Homo-oligomer: A and B are copies of this chain.
Amino acid sequence: MATMTGTQWLDDEEQRAWRAFVRMQGRLTARLNRQLQTDSGLSLADYEVLVQLTDTADGRLRPFELQRCLHWEQSRLSHHLTRMQRRGLIGREECTEDGRGAFIVLTDAGRDAITAAAPGHVDTVRSLFLDGLTRDQIAALRQVSEQVLGRLDATADTDD
């Protein structure tokens, strides 16, 4: 990523946009995290794992499937699942089709936890984020996000 020809620095508008975005993003996720943590004892990461499991018909997923849809590092996922299992939010079951793997299953406690957490979380997303934006702004944001996601996919080496 080194520039032989000299880096093109950000102009004023780019600078302002980029810095506003970075700060907004960081503070927003910090707030969402705090709300979830204090009101439900879940982290944003826990929440996302539970959402994926809830969206699956039988509440069972292979870790590598979770990895693909969350785009997490494998090791992060593994550690996180260990912690979630220790807290009783998920369980592990043997996978008979593939001796290497396992199934991650949503426990009753896990289902209860996300059911309890969801309303407050969605309310917070609305009040801190969506409620301040027009439909057009929301549509524009989606387009920007998807374009950037496309670039991230296009330039992904191995990971991510």
In whole Å, how far is A26's beta carbon from the nearest beta carbon of chain B? 8
Query: Does A39 interact with chain B (Cβ within 8 Å)?
Result: yes
* Complex copy number for this chain: 2
**Size category of the binding interface on chain A:** 35 or more
Q: Which of A100-142 contact B (CB under 8 A)?
A: 118-120, 122-133, 135, 137-142
A2 touches B119 (CB 8 A): yes
Task: Choose one: B127, B144, B147, B152; the contact of A155 (CB below 8 Å).
Answer: B127
Query: Does A148 interact with chain B (Cβ within 8 Å)?
Result: yes
**Which of A118, A140, A155 is the most central at the interface, judged by chain B CB atoms within 10 Å of its CB?**
A140
**Which residues of the partner chain B approach A25 to less than 8 Å between Cβ atoms?**
25, 29, 145
Task: Choose one: B13, B23, B123; the contact of A3 (CB below 8 Å).
Answer: B123
Query: Does A35 interact with chain B (Cβ within 8 Å)?
Result: yes
Which residues of A line the B interface, CB within 8 A? 1-3, 6-10, 13-14, 16-18, 20-21, 23-31, 35, 39, 71, 118-120, 122-133, 135, 137-152, 155, 160
Cα A146 to Cα B139 with chains together (Å): 17
Cα A96 to Cα B66 with chains together (Å): 55
B141 touches A155 (CB 8 A): no
A123 touches B31 (CB 8 A): no
In whole Å, how far is A100's beta carbon from the nearest beta carbon of chain B? 26
**Which of A3, A139, A148 is the most central at the interface, judged by chain B CB atoms within 10 Å of its CB?**
A148
In whole Å, how far is A95's beta carbon from the nearest beta carbon of chain B? 27
